Amino acid sequence: MRSLVTFAALIVALPALGAGPLPSCPSGAGKPDVAALVERTQHLLEGTSSVATMTMQIRGPTWSRHLKMKVWTKGRDYALVRVLEGSPRETGMMTLKRERQLWDYLPLAGRVMKLPSAMMGDSWMGSDFTNDDLVKGSSLVDDFTAKLTGAVQADGHQAWRIVLAPKPSSTVVWSRIELDLDRTTCLPVEQRFYDDEGKIARTLRYSDFRKIGARDFPTTFTVLPSEKGHSTTVTYDEIVFDVPIADETFSLQRLQRGR
């Protein structure tokens, strides 16, 4: 199924684009510094704080549905997701991530429930993300050794292809990750996760690059698991970066109040 590319990383990450001292993009360079590129992407994927509104479209072989959500993030460890619009019973549902643990607020029940570790492999909100995805993150810099393999054409972009091989010390299940970065903007275009046999187990696509603040920004990403007919697409409707968020936002007490 799916794992590790963390949803948390995604929802936490991209907003950070507009923030902080992001290393500049060595656009057009003949042979860029791979380590710098990866670090830049990593930086991208680990923001400081953000508040965003997004739409999640989940597709199965015979059905499809969508959810509108508001997301607050602070670093890698804290995130709060609130469903603004979904089926009537889901509206108001919240998921709180605090370090490696997850709690759900259930609006109809008016109660908070901690997710037991046995459920970590289960789907989050019926999407192609697992609860596990929300909890853990791997670091592209710390866990992988990067190597530039050349320039390719990816999804209409002139892109660098970087192969990330997991370091022996990492706990990554992929045999390798291929990362395609746009050559001019250095933004990720596609990430492919390979299993032990060298087959693609999962694909992550970035698209709808838009100018947010000072920079271009992929406002849509799509997860394609290896099961046929399934996909989950997340689209950002609105993002604000680097807003100060009170620690109380990520507290259980607040979750329990359901607001």
Partner 1 sequence: MRRLLAMAWHDLWRRPRRTLINMSAVGVGLFLVILYSSLMAGFMGSAKDDLDDTGMGHVEISAHGWRAREEPSKAMTDPQALMARLALPPGSQVGARVVGRALGSSAHGNQGVEVDGVDPKAEGELSAYFNDVRQGKRLAPGDDKGVVIGEKLAKKLKLGLDGRLRLMVQRADGEMGAGLYRVRGIFHSISPAISGERVLLTMPASQALYGLGDQASVVIVQLSHPEQADDLAERIGSALGPSFDVVSYGRLLPELKKMESLISVMQLGIALFVYFLVGLGILNTTLMSVMERTREFGVMMALGTRSRRIVALVFGEAFWIATLSVAVGLTAGLLVSWFGQTHVLVDFGKGLGEGFDFAGTTMRTAVKLKLSVPAAIQASVLVYALALVVGIYPAWRVTRLQPAQALRAA
Partner 2 sequence: MLLTLAWRNIWRNHRRTILTVSALTAGIAAIVFLDSYRESTFKQMIGVVTTGLVGNLQVHGAGYQDNPDISTVIPNPAQTMAKLQKALPGAHLEERVVGYGLGGSARDSDAVMILGIDPAQQDARSRLFKVVAGMGLGSAPAHRAVVGAGLASRLGLRPGSELVLLGEAADRSMANDRYMVSGIAKTGSGDLDDSAVFLQLKDAQSFFALGGAIHEILVRLEDPGAASAGPLAAARAALDSKSLEVLSWSQMLPELKGMIQQKRNGQYGMDFVVFLIVALGVLNTMSMSTFERTREFGVMASLGTRRRRILGLVVTESLLQGLIGLVIGVALAAAVLHAVGSIDFGSMAGQDIGGVRIPSTVTLSLQARAIGDAFSTAFFIALVGALWPAYKASRLAPAEATRVV
Residues at the site binding partner 1, with contacts judged by CB under 8 A: 1, 3-4, 100-101, 117-118, 120-121, 130, 132, 135-136, 166, 168, 170-175, 193-197, 201-202, 226
Q: Least distance in Å: CB of 231 to partner 2?
A: 14
Q: Least distance in Å: CB of 46 to partner 2?
A: 28
Task: Give me the numbers of helices (H) and strands (E) for the chain, helices first please.
Answer: 5, 13
Identify the three-state secondary structure at position 161: strand
Q: Which stretch binds partner 2 (CB under 8 A): 24-32, 73-81, 118-126, 226-234?
A: 118-126
Q: Least distance in Å: CB of 72 to partner 2?
A: 20
The binder of partner 2 chosen from 31, 100, 111, 210 (CB under 8 A) = 111
The binder of partner 2 chosen from 46, 90, 132, 133 (CB under 8 A) = 90
Q: Please say whether the beta carbons of 136 and 4 come within 8 A.
A: yes
Q: How far apart are CA 3 and CA 123, in angstroms?
A: 10
Does residue 61 belong to the site contacting partner 2 (CB under 8 A)?
A: no
Does residue 89 belong to the site contacting partner 2 (CB under 8 A)?
A: yes
Q: Least distance in Å: CB of 99 to partner 1?
A: 8
Binding partner of residue 141 among partner 1, partner 2, none, CB cut-off 5 to 8 Å per kind: none
Does residue 1 belong to the site contacting partner 2 (CB under 8 A)?
A: no
Q: Least distance in Å: CB of 55 to partner 2?
A: 15
Share in percent of the chain as helix, strand, coil (round to 5): 15, 45, 35
| Tokens read off for 144 | 């992988």
- Can you name the residues that pair with 54 across neighbouring β-strands? 69, 236
156: left (phi over 0), alpha (psi -120 to 50) or beta: left
CB count within 10 Å of CB 186 equals 22
Does residue 258 belong to the site contacting partner 2 (CB under 8 A)?
A: no
DSSP string for residues in 195-248:
-TTS-EEEEEEEEEEEEETTEEEEEEEEEEESSTT-EEEEEEEEEEES----GG
Does residue 119 belong to the site contacting partner 2 (CB under 8 A)?
A: yes
Chain positions contacting partner 2, by CB under 8 A: 58, 60, 63, 65, 86-87, 89-90, 93, 104, 106-111, 113-116, 118-119, 123, 125-126
